[in-house]
Amino acid sequence: MADQQYDIVILGAGSGGYAAALRGAQLGLSVALVEADKLGGTCLHRGCIPTKALLHAAEVADEIRHSAGIGVKATLEGIDMPGVNSYRDGVIGKLYKGLQGLVSAASIEYVTGWGRLVAPNTVEVDGRRLVGRNVILASGSYSKSIPGLDITGRVIASEQALQLDHVPSSVVVLGGGVIGVEFASVWKSFGADVTIIEGLPNLVPNEDPVVSKAVERAFRKRKIAFHTGARFSGVTQTDSGVTVSTEDGKSIDAEYLLVAVGRGPATANLGYEEQGVAMDRGFVLTNERLATNVPGIYAVGDIVPGLQLAHRGFQQGIFVAEEIAGLNPVVVPESGIPRVTYCEPEVASVGLTQPQAEEKYGKDSVETVDFNLAGNGKSQILGTTGFIKLVREKDGPIVGFHAVGTRVGELVNEGQLAVNWEAYPEDLASLIHAHPTQNEAVGEAALALAGKPLHSHN
């Protein structure tokens, strides 16, 4: 078969790959998009969307449990897991269909099959050679484990956890990062006994320390057990359960062990090294413009070291398509990427934590404010505790936004506007926040940081 020529050949159609394809086609470039599994990748089929559907079902269950407190008579009869799964699959199905429609309408050459980089400008799929003026590597990530711990039987990763057709009676979750606390939160709301094991001193350890503490307090109240600073030492399993042990001598029985220790780059045996692409522990190295060391080869998404988030992948995909089209797009620094953890209570942040800001600007050159959601009407209506914390460079812009509380994930976008536009608290304080919304709490934090608090003490 003759080689087929394109402006861009993209390997992997997840968040990063398909965003690059759509933007490239929009800019009039000819694009081939190669996918071995399903258009949409991890986020749509095994990540963001399915987990957030489960978390919404969990929120509904909790609302029913607490409904008497707001005068609504309802009883939670139980969780029908096949019903939850079919609701989740319905959401995925609609989005999948929409995405397929977008890709086919964009006249992108969508190629199904396992691709391999066989020359710096060529991806081969089932003997078909797709030659690109540029190639974008976007092959994504997989659930990692730790040495000696195999994902098998009752030792599961997020992919298997999403396939369960029942609510487990008990689960040990190894890893207190984003994926671990989200599953812990879902299962607890569904009625399981949950224990998290985290090697670092805190849950959600990448967040501002006060945020980690708030999540720990909330989890304690929800009776989600956790052992922080505890190292996993082994697991044994039978037909009905697992026994998990830690180096400090604890032993915990459960129906499953969920391994949520992070995600590794899916780059093995794809020809990247053979074509001279510089790599580090499986990750593809790029400059800040996402170009690899091999001219014409770019990389986007989870295979590029940094935050493994879908919206980072989208943004990187768009960026590279625009770069190839010669539009010279602006680089967004990694710290400007918003981060949300959708457990209950939710966690949202963007920019620098207080310790990071103090390291960058000096301890005396950083100011912070915590606005307690107790002073926010909508949060009181929802019955949530929590806070918004803003970090500013003294007499300078807001450099960090941090939030904990029910539904605060929706507030992060104002935080990211403030941080990325280097807004001063005074700028934010002069804008009007609709009442009663949780967004008002962001405005209140800015008012306080600008020295004119309204619903809080200075």
Ligand X SMILES: Cc1cc2nc3c(=O)[nH]c(=O)nc-3n(C[C@H](O)[C@H](O)[C@H](O)COP(=O)(O)OP(=O)(O)OC[C@H]3O[C@@H](n4cnc5c(N)ncnc54)[C@H](O)[C@@H]3O)c2cc1C
Catalytic residue numbers read 435
- Judge contact between 96 and 103, C-beta under 8 A: no
Q: Closest Cα partner for 320 from 293, 288, 347, 352?
A: 288
Token pair listed for 337: 């990427």
Q: What is d(CA 287, CA 309) in angstroms, rounded to the nearest whole number?
A: 19
DSSP category for residue 192: -
Q: How far is the CB of 317 from ligand X (least distance, A)?
A: 7
Q: How far is the CB of 114 from ligand X (least distance, A)?
A: 5
Q: How far is the CB of 277 from ligand X (least distance, A)?
A: 14
- Judge contact between 187 and 168, C-beta under 8 A: yes
Run of H or E including 193: strand 193-198
Token pair listed for 163: 């396939």
Run of H or E including 351: strand 346-351
| Residue closer to ligand X (CB basis): 97 or 394 | 97
Q: How far is the CB of 319 from ligand X (least distance, A)?
A: 13
For ligand X, the binding residues (CB under 6 A) are 11-17, 34-37, 41-43, 46-48, 51-52, 114-115, 138-141, 158, 179, 266, 270, 301-302, 308-311, 313, 342
Q: How far is the CB of 126 from ligand X (least distance, A)?
A: 10
DSSP symbols for 69-96: GGT---------HHHHHHHHHHHHHHHH
**Within 13 Å and on the Cβ side, how many CA atoms surround 407?**
15
* 341 phi and psi angles, rounded to 5 deg: -115, 125
| Residue closer to ligand X (CB basis): 185 or 376 | 185
- Give the helix ranges, DSSP H, for 235-376: 310-324, 354-361
| Residue closer to ligand X (CB basis): 100 or 233 | 100
Q: How far is the CB of 310 from ligand X (least distance, A)?
A: 4
Compute CA distances 294 → 272, 273, 280, 312, 363, whole Å: 10, 11, 15, 22, 42
| Residue closer to ligand X (CB basis): 45 or 227 | 45
| Residue closer to ligand X (CB basis): 266 or 450 | 266
- Judge contact between 349 and 408, C-beta under 8 A: no
| Residue closer to ligand X (CB basis): 99 or 417 | 99
